[in-house]
Structure 1
Amino acid sequence: MPLIIVAIGVAILLLLMIGFKINGFISLVLVSLFVAVAEGMPLDKVVKSVEGGVGGTLGHMALVVGFGAMIGNLIAESGAAQRISTTLIDKFGKKNVQWALLITGFVVGIAMFYEVGFVLLIPIVFTVCASAELPLLYVGVPMAAALSVTHGFLPPHPGPTAIAVIYGANVSTVLLYGIMIAIPTVIIAGPLFSKLLKRFEKEPPKGLFNPRIFKEEEMPSFGTCMFTALIPIVLMGASAIGEMTLANGTYARALVHFIGDPVMAMLISVLVSMYTLGLARGKKMEDIMKIVSSSISSVAMILLIIGGGGALKQVLIDSGVGKYIATMMAGTNISPLVLAWLIAAILRLALGSATVAAMTTAGIVLPMIATSGANPALMVLATGAGSLIFSHVNDPGFWIFKEYFNLTIGETIASWSMMETIISVMGLIGVLVINMFI
């Protein structure tokens, strides 16, 4: 009976979001309340459980996502993203322009949300296509693949970071494993897959986007841009390596863990970005603060959706569903990694939103971690990979890709949807391979 109620709850979530077009956060809260009441929780504890889930999840996430948005906005508004991309394209040359855009998407994607990074880099894709006389998708897919991979696999992005919080996984370890999986995945889904798309000869849509092009003197140096953009990855990566190599109880390990904590890594990155991309470029602190402030509005709804997923997770725990699932799964041979991927994939296909799919899955499969002994970091990546599969017409990212690349729906499915599926399946394969060696 408990699982039937959860299944009904998921069905209601689909109905609210797909049928009635209700916002993901409101839908998740309503479903959380329904599941809590239907599972027999005392009414005086229902709201407290929902509040506890939202607060417990956002207590950590609000800082990470907020700081990440600030860094992304500073990179965009300073011309750093343009500098990184144009320099790499110049260095790689026409023959290797795909790899230049892949690296650009990977570096920029670390600090930015998918949609922001896509809209920021698409004018550069258009410019490269025109100057090098190359097909639009051949050039653009590697960039899009890199942005999608960083969004699904790598902290400090909201999805993997939020799931790590719920699963109790070490975020630095998630990042380390995520990079190991991301590199082969983005190569296959980007440059290799895009070679099959040359038949789609498309011109950039006219009048759709009028980007701001920075002048040479307006942009920071390439070294400054790369240094600033990679600080979060370096600090969190150092923390993961330090925890594997340094002895417990030593000051060095404690220090590395402190500065590599996602909150501290992002705060340090914001402070450095304010100087390298702002003050050092002659900008006034007032102008820098305007850029920082404007970034927050773009993440408000993402934070609320993550909080809604946390509410559902907490309700499943407090109502006893978690223990029921754990007991039931104790006798099964299905890998919890595969199961997490499969549930996230099904929800992604139904809901469209990768974030909602991942957060809902996290609440459902959380009990399996303790009973199965599954590695929490790999569970994060399996869930993230599943949440990316076959984006289609119910996903806003599908329509963004379609319009900017001037495609039909069928062409978008053959390119974007298949690219996302490759990333998802490669992610699962990578998780299972790593799991064999740890």
Structure 2
Amino acid sequence: MSDIVVFANAAITIVGVVVLILRAKISPAIALVLGAIYLGLVSGLGPEQTIKSITTGFGDLMTEVGLLIAFGVLLGSLMASLGAIEKLVDLLVRTFGPRSLPYTFGATVGTVLQSIFADVLLVITAPLASRLSRQIGPYGAARMCAAMALGIEVGLVFVVPGVGAVALAGVLDLPFGKMFLFGTVTAVFTIVVTLALFTALAKRGLWNPKLDETEELPVAEVADEERSPRELPPLPLLLAPLLLALALIAFGAIAEMAEFSSPWVDFLGDPVIALLIGLIGAVLIARWKLPAEQTAAAFKRGFHESGQILILTGVGGSLAQTVKDVGLGELLKDYFSTSTVVPLLLVWLVAAVLHIAIGSVTLASITAAGVLGPVMPLLGIDPIFVALAAGAGSLFVIHATSNTFWLLQTLLPQTTRGALKSVTLTVSAASIIAMIPIQLMALLF
């Protein structure tokens, strides 16, 4: 089979998945499996090998990320129920002051709080961001809206245990600790630089408070102010399980990069074990401080949220395995030089186009990584940078097809016009800015 036919079949597969999702309104999970079946059959794998590729891809990826996603989401759900976020934001205000709050708030949401499912994290933090926006001077609402959007979206695809970052690491068979270290550096740089740029543009006329902000109190904030205060445990105790888990993951990654190994270091530094330890700690605190029914509700919510994530991630692995088995990676390597710049830009572009069409950050990133990931090691490019480039591209043009866009618009004091600036424009800028540290690190490592 000629190279052109294989490339054409791969392109038809991607376009077909997009059409099934957008036009036929078919679930992304089903669309991805149908795309994998089509690609396998028309590329010569045959029925038996096609099914084997689909099931192997799903199973292998679940082996890599299944427990990690489940433990991470459950840990985040318990932290949300314990009220850790409210106390953490209060500490940020007291420590760094209101003027620096957008930067510290955005960076914290994008890193430390990524174990909390994105929609839940947004619903909890939006009232806080809305209320605090009045304390940080001119353009406070604009800056906090942008900080929220950047923290939620950038952290999702770059920082483990964010579900997008975990899925990318699983698709490309990356060490999760390595993804955590490189992703955290990329996320913090991207959030701070993009927010500084947005702030400068807002002050020069990009943001019009009369047209871009709402005067009425968002529903989420009304609910927050009417809620009776609850007695929360001390912040160090609330954060201890999560921080311990992240510290163990980082320690394991550093030990691996330094080629230091021992049975206990490998065991405790494994992200699954690290998050399990954190989850057990959170359960103990929840049983001490929360009613039994509230703890049970947190677990129920966590299982519900992790289920849909696992299915979508797994079928993304099915498509990636099929792409690998048809030999697309071997063919693509003949069309690139050994430069890292062009291949990573191609990964970014594919993810960006997929996101514009589909509107799902996670789906766009894992599809782009699955299609182009197999070729990159053949060019001498570390897969970690493929994952980061795919994540960056998937952030481009978050628009009206995204549930997160409308949550950010309705839960924060901004109009739809304002959300197009603080969400669509700002996160799109972050998508491009993120490629700066990614390309630099790809050249250095």
Q: For each residue in 1:111-140, what CA deviation from the matched residue of structure 2 results, as whole angstroms up to 9, or x when unmatched? A: 123222111100111222356676422223
Decide whether the 8 Å contact of 1:118 with 1:144 is kept in 2: no
Give the stretch that moved more between structures: 106-115 or 366-375: 106-115
Equivalent residue for 1:208?
219
Match of 1:373 among 375, 380, 389: 380
Equivalent residue for 1:260?
269
Equivalent residue for 1:117?
121
Give the stretch that moved more between structures: 62-71 or 339-348: 339-348
Letter of the 2:289 partner, please give it: R
Letter of the 1:56 partner, please give it: D
Equivalent residue for 2:153?
148
The yes-or-no answer on 1:189 pairing with 2:194 is yes
3-state SS, counterpart of residue 156 of structure 1: coil
3-state SS, counterpart of residue 99 of structure 2: helix
Match of 2:437 among 413, 417, 430: 430
Letter of the 2:70 partner, please give it: G
Distance 1:131 1:336, change over 3 A: closer
Distance 1:330 1:203, change over 3 A: closer
Equivalent residue for 2:173?
168
Compute the displacement of 1:256 (Å).
2.3
Distance 1:22 1:311, change over 3 A: same
The yes-or-no answer on 1:275 pairing with 2:262 is no
Give the stretch that moved more between structures: 286-295 or 356-365: 286-295
The yes-or-no answer on 1:243 pairing with 2:248 is no
Compute the displacement of 1:103 (Å).
4.4
The yes-or-no answer on 1:68 pairing with 2:72 is yes
Distance 1:100 1:174, change over 3 A: closer
Distance 1:204 1:158, change over 3 A: farther
Distance 1:107 1:4, change over 3 A: closer
Compute the displacement of 1:69 (Å).
1.0
Match of 1:51 among 30, 55, 66: 55
Decide whether the 8 Å contact of 1:64 with 1:156 is kept in 2: yes
Distance 1:287 1:129, change over 3 A: closer
Compute the displacement of 1:104 (Å).
4.0
3-state SS, counterpart of residue 155 of structure 1: coil
Distance 1:12 1:288, change over 3 A: same
Equivalent residue for 2:27?
23
Equivalent residue for 1:336?
343
Decide whether the 8 Å contact of 1:152 with 1:159 is kept in 2: yes
Give, in whole Å, the separation in 2 of the partners of 1:232 and 1:194: 34
Q: For each residue in 1:341-365, what CA deviation from the matched residue of structure 2 results, as whole angstroms up to 9, or x when unmatched? A: 1211121112111111111112211
3-state SS, counterpart of residue 218 of structure 1: coil
Equivalent residue for 1:177?
182
Distance 1:246 1:44, change over 3 A: closer
Compute the displacement of 1:367 (Å).
2.0
Give, in whole Å, the separation in 1 of the partners of 2:230 and 2:219: 27
3-state SS, counterpart of residue 297 of structure 1: helix
Give, in whole Å, the separation in 1 of the partners of 2:47 and 2:111: 48
Give the stretch that moved more between structures: 223-232 or 153-162: 223-232
3-state SS, counterpart of residue 203 of structure 1: coil
TM-score (norm 2): 0.89
Distance 1:282 1:412, change over 3 A: closer
Give, in whole Å, the separation in 2 of the partners of 1:118 and 1:246: 39
Match of 2:130 among 126, 129, 135: 126
Decide whether the 8 Å contact of 1:3 with 1:321 is kept in 2: yes
Decide whether the 8 Å contact of 2:80 with 2:116 is kept in 1: no
Q: For each residue in 1:34-54, what CA deviation from the matched residue of structure 2 results, as whole angstroms up to 9, or x when unmatched? A: 111111222233222212211
Letter of the 1:174 partner, please give it: M
3-state SS, counterpart of residue 40 of structure 1: coil
Equivalent residue for 2:319?
312
Structure 1: 5+ residue stretches without partners = none
The yes-or-no answer on 1:234 pairing with 2:243 is no
Give, in whole Å, the separation in 2 of the partners of 1:243 and 1:423: 30
Give, in whole Å, the separation in 1 of the partners of 2:281 and 2:215: 36
Distance 1:190 1:233, change over 3 A: farther
Give, in whole Å, the separation in 2 of the partners of 1:195 and 1:311: 44
Give the stretch that moved more between structures: 127-136 or 310-319: 127-136
Give, in whole Å, the separation in 2 of the partners of 1:246 and 1:11: 43
Distance 1:150 1:43, change over 3 A: same
Compute the displacement of 1:437 (Å).
1.7
Distance 1:235 1:6, change over 3 A: same
Q: For each residue in 1:85-119, what CA deviation from the matched residue of structure 2 results, as whole angstroms up to 9, or x when unmatched? A: 12222333333332442344235532123222111
Give, in whole Å, the separation in 2 of the partners of 1:321 and 1:437: 28
Give, in whole Å, the separation in 2 of the partners of 1:121 and 1:54: 34
Distance 1:45 1:229, change over 3 A: same
Compute the displacement of 1:412 (Å).
2.4
- Number of aligned residue pairs: 432
Compute the displacement of 1:330 (Å).
6.6
Give, in whole Å, the separation in 1 of the partners of 2:252 and 2:340: 34
Letter of the 2:287 partner, please give it: L
Compute the displacement of 1:422 (Å).
2.0
Compute the displacement of 1:183 (Å).
1.8
Q: For each residue in 1:358-379, what CA deviation from the matched residue of structure 2 results, as whole angstroms up to 9, or x when unmatched? A: 1111221122123101112122
Give, in whole Å, the separation in 1 of the partners of 2:164 and 2:87: 28
